[in-house]
Structure 1
Amino acid sequence: MATPATDMQSRIADIIGRLTGPGGRFEIAAEDVLGARIPVIRHRGRRVGDLLTASRVWGDRDYLVTTDRRISFAEHLDTVAALAVALRDRYGVHKGNRVAILAANSPEWVMAFWATQSLGAITVGMNSWWVAREIDYGLQHSRPSVLIVDEKRARLLDELDTTGITVLTTENDLPRLVTEYSGAELPQPEVDEDDPSVILYTSGTSGRPKGALHSQRNLLAVVDYFRFGDAFAAEMSGHNYDDSQPVPLRCLLTSPLFHIASLHNLVVPRLATGSALVLNQGAFDIETVLRLIERERITNWGAVPTMAGRLLEYDGAENFDLSSLTAFALASAPSSIAFKDRLRERFPFARDALVDSYGLTECSTAIAVATPADLNRSPGTLGRPILTVNLEIRDPEGVQVPDGTEGEVCVRSPFVMLGYWDDEAATAAAITPDRWLRTGDYGIVEGGELRLTGRRSDLILRGGENVYPTEIEQCLDEHPDIAECAVLGIPHSDLGQEVAAVVVVAPDSTVTEEQLTEFARERLSYFKVPTHWRITTESLPRNATGKLARRAISF
């Protein structure tokens, strides 16, 4: 006799089979992608800009909402068309040119992104927490023809050479251009699905941020993944999925727009599905977020564990109506089993809505997702690979290992980036000739489910931000009193990890922790600045080849 569990598994398998099998809306077929045969959605879009044209059908529905603004799909489209034509006709932006955005989250950030996409240009999402030195590197590396900034970041440009770059502010220049070009028709240039679309920066093990270059295909594959999820949810609830009708979700956006969590996995797919995005602006404040959830009847929230930790710490959360939340995802950083248990115990919505996932900037979206049922059955799992993702665990020689054996997580899918912008060596090291991405993370697959056993060897995960020690060490090495140094991640109850530094100085040095902090603060984003220091005159431990023995360093 079939059990309820097997009946449910059979139903799930039947729905997935109908949606992804021959003739299904999300039929999967193997096709050539950049020289490799990989599974893709057969009936798919080819140009990100086409999503804009199609969005007019959503009319007066909310697309972008803030605490004090409400922008419909129609208003958004008209604004984007005007801005796109202004960028093209006034500033010469065309297919393949870079337009960089350096600003805090705002509707203007989103509109600038879409205007760039409608031209077939490449949006460069620059980290809004960067200091002047880091901004200079990003500009020299990506070489944008236009830089869109908010006034706060514009002040950081005074000490930089921006010759040849048109600088436009979100507060003044963008509204002026939109008014001047009001009524313009949306551009529709010819674009191939493997043409570049976006550059997002991710910290690099070599010390410099690397620009993950995403294609039109990458972003559109994310759209189809979300559409598939919406279709699956509709079928599970007994409804037929119709993608000509809007999906009535209201999604809270709390991560920076220069992250895939917000840009690729909210801004892009939810334009396509007619769903609302509610933007939290400014520093993360849990009371403001709770008010938005209650006022806007938020249905979906993807939070980094640090944000969820703020939720747990806030005494007044029970005073807000959070009953609208039906999807609550943890992403961008690992979270413990005990942490998830505390969320479920405290908040009723988390008991049936909490999901966990594993992904990388280089992969555009999640690689694997653990559903609430997965987490209840197997705490600590990161679930199964998502639609069209092939995942293998491989040994150091690149050979797949048996289930239950630890190795490097490698993935191949239509979500994998084209490569690293202007960095052939890093691209070759990360992506094999047959398009497998070496993640640098280590894990085990058992029963089809992934568990991570170790993050990238040196990576520090601070509040959802990736911090690589090498970049900080190279910065500290510039200090005249420092002979050598090592940067480590140490546990932190709220942030997951924070940055600590061991610095070796000469016996007669009088440098202080305060002076080192100020030195680092002038050169690095705040989240990279060490908060703990150990100043010593003893040399750091090294192995037989002279390489730093990082694991032998204690703090």
Structure 2
Amino acid sequence: MRRHATMEWLLQTLAGYADRQAMVRGERSITYADLLASCRSWSGRIREHGIQPGEVVSLEGDYSPSACGAMLALLANRNVIVPLSASVRHRRDELAEIAQVDRSIVFDGGPEAAVRTLARSGHAGLLDTFIKEEKPGLVLFTSGTTGRPKAILHDFAAFLERYKAPRDTLRTLTFLLFDHIGGINTMFHTFANGGTIIAPDSRTAPAICALIERHRIELLPASPSFLNLLLLSGVHRDYDLSSLRIITYGTEVMPDATLNAARLAFPEAQLRQTYGLSELGILRAKSRASGSPWLRIGGEGIETRIVDGVLHIRSGTAMRGYLNAPNPFDEEGWFDTQDEVLEDGGYIRILGRRSEVINVGGRKVYPVEVEDVLLQMPEVADAAVRGEPNPLLGSIVAAAVNVQEPLEPSELKARIRSFCRGKLEEYQIPVKIEIRQGELYTDRYKKIRKEQLPGR
């Protein structure tokens, strides 16, 4: 079968890097020649198992030479690929049903991946229409931990077009997960530019720092929650992290306190904010300056506008649509990101998701503004702020906190109120405060808010 032109470009590009180191996982290191050999091996297995172009195939696992080779082979075979990480394995049946998966390839850490056939009578709706176009596809899921996740369908060939423009060749850590839009972006951005991806077995702060030191990693894509955890632990002082040239952060709003601490801890590294959504992909973004919370989103094929304080984006590489939800684009192709922003001279500052804004007596409170102040307190290790219903005000500000040392709740509440006075308006100061023992972030290192907080 004739390959798609974009896939031909990608394979030829990778072949040009044949002798370069493509990937490191544990004690194993492979070159680009090895990666392409894995792709060819998987192409053979795909034929052996009778996997036809257009079939929907889930890839369950994490970054590995074999999993990456399988993804390339499925791309070449024009399959619709559904990457799934171990963090969602407990929901695999539900996700497979939503994505209309025909086959699953499971990497469970053993030497061989298992290929399974699922009972499927055919495809329906948007997916059926897309498959008839004979293009490779990509299905990702929204990351909400409650409710039914939405399945996002991308034209994978169009998705890859953004990597044709040459960028820096860097040794990059794949911190974001295999089924995360940022993780997919990291992998293909690195491969397209002949860089090396270093895949962690563990995403704890000590494990990440050890990998940076050992493999002289230059680019660390992370989340604000992980950076806060790293800086709070102080473990970065125990390792040589001088190889880091760039630290990118996204997936959630960065508190100023964490950003300032990161700037002090890594003075030689550029701190770059990224912006992306699973529905739109990772978009070109330029920070006003290293470590600035202001950024400009744009580039070829990208348009932005602000409507009632909310960012809207129109992109030529946006998703084709949801498989299990209504089309979110308006008649002109604009997507409402639900991110409230400020604008200044073409740059924007993201304040937070509209769904997370707390309405206190008609006045808006952005959780990250309150968290930023709480994180400046020596008593507070981490904080997650949310709104709770109130019959008089509509909502009140509630905060869950991890403390550095044991404190009585009444004492902590008094200290928080005292510290926040003069830094926050009275209506922004938390009324309800809970001390939490567990983490305030998900396994994707993203802050947990609302009813998702453990113990509620």
TM-score when normalising by structure 1: 0.59
Alignment check: 8 A CA contact 2:57 2:82 kept: yes
Query: SS of the counterpart of 1:129?
Result: helix
Paired residue type of 1:219: F
Alpha-carbon distance in structure 2 between the residues aligned to 1:492 and 1:418? 40
Deviation at 1:439, TM superposition (A): 1.4
- Does 2:88 align with 1:130? yes
CA separation of 1:356/1:306 partners in 2, compared to 1, >3 Å: closer, same or farther? same
1:367-516 → structure 2 map (5 Å cutoff) = 368-373=285-290, 375=291, 379-395=292-308, 406=309, 408-423=310-325, 425=326, 427=327, 430-458=328-356, 490-492=399-401
CA separation of 1:75/1:130 partners in 2, compared to 1, >3 Å: closer, same or farther? same
> What is the aligned length?
362
CA separation of 1:205/1:349 partners in 2, compared to 1, >3 Å: closer, same or farther? same
Deviation at 1:47, TM superposition (A): 2.2
Offset from partner CA, 1:54-79 (integer Å, 9 cap, x none): 31121121111123110110011011
Alpha-carbon distance in structure 1 between the residues aligned to 2:337 and 2:235? 40
Deviation at 1:436, TM superposition (A): 1.7
Alpha-carbon distance in structure 2 between the residues aligned to 1:371 and 1:381? 6
* Percent identity between the two aligned chains: 24
- Does 2:16 align with 1:97? no
CA separation of 1:212/1:144 partners in 2, compared to 1, >3 Å: closer, same or farther? same
Paired residue type of 1:380: P
- Does 2:120 align with 1:150? no
Alpha-carbon distance in structure 1 between the residues aligned to 2:38 and 2:193? 19
Deviation at 1:220, TM superposition (A): 1.9
Query: SS of the counterpart of 1:101?
Result: strand
- Does 2:177 align with 1:253? no
Alignment check: 8 A CA contact 2:54 2:134 kept: no
Alpha-carbon distance in structure 2 between the residues aligned to 1:292 and 1:127? 21
- Does 2:27 align with 1:47? no
Give the corresponding residue for 1:290.
Answer: 209
Deviation at 1:317, TM superposition (A): 2.4
Alpha-carbon distance in structure 2 between the residues aligned to 1:281 and 1:349? 27
1:152-191 → structure 2 map (5 Å cutoff) = 171-174=110-113
1:331 aligns with one of 241, 250, 264: 250
Alignment check: 8 A CA contact 1:357 1:383 kept: no
Structure 1's consecutive aligned runs of 4 or more residues displaced over 4 angstroms after TM superposition are 191-194, 458-462, 488-494
TM-score when normalising by structure 2: 0.71
Alpha-carbon distance in structure 2 between the residues aligned to 1:446 and 1:454? 17
CA separation of 1:434/1:411 partners in 2, compared to 1, >3 Å: closer, same or farther? same
Paired residue type of 2:190: R
Give the corresponding residue for 2:44.
Answer: 85
Deviation at 1:361, TM superposition (A): 1.0
2:161 aligns with one of 221, 234, 237: 221
CA separation of 1:101/1:444 partners in 2, compared to 1, >3 Å: closer, same or farther? same
Query: SS of the counterpart of 1:366?
Result: strand
- Does 2:178 align with 1:280? no
Paired residue type of 1:440: Q
Deviation at 1:117, TM superposition (A): 0.8
CA separation of 1:325/1:313 partners in 2, compared to 1, >3 Å: closer, same or farther? same
Alpha-carbon distance in structure 2 between the residues aligned to 1:53 and 1:67? 27
Structure 1: gaps (5+ residues): 1-44, 152-169, 177-190, 231-246, 396-405, 463-468, 470-485, 495-516, 518-526, 534-555
Alignment check: 8 A CA contact 1:219 1:268 kept: no
Alpha-carbon distance in structure 2 between the residues aligned to 1:316 and 1:268? 30
Query: SS of the counterpart of 1:328?
Result: strand
1:115 aligns with one of 58, 73, 79: 73
C-alpha root-mean-square deviation of aligned residues, in Å?
A: 3.5
- Does 2:10 align with 1:70? no
Alpha-carbon distance in structure 1 between the residues aligned to 2:45 and 2:89? 29
Give the corresponding residue for 1:357.
Answer: 274
Paired residue type of 1:146: R
Deviation at 1:530, TM superposition (A): 3.8
Paired residue type of 1:255: L
Paired residue type of 2:113: L
Which has the higher Rg, Structure 1 or Structure 2? 1
Offset from partner CA, 1:99-156 (integer Å, 9 cap, x none): 1022244333322222211111011022421253x222111111222212233xxxxx
Alignment check: 8 A CA contact 1:368 1:450 kept: no
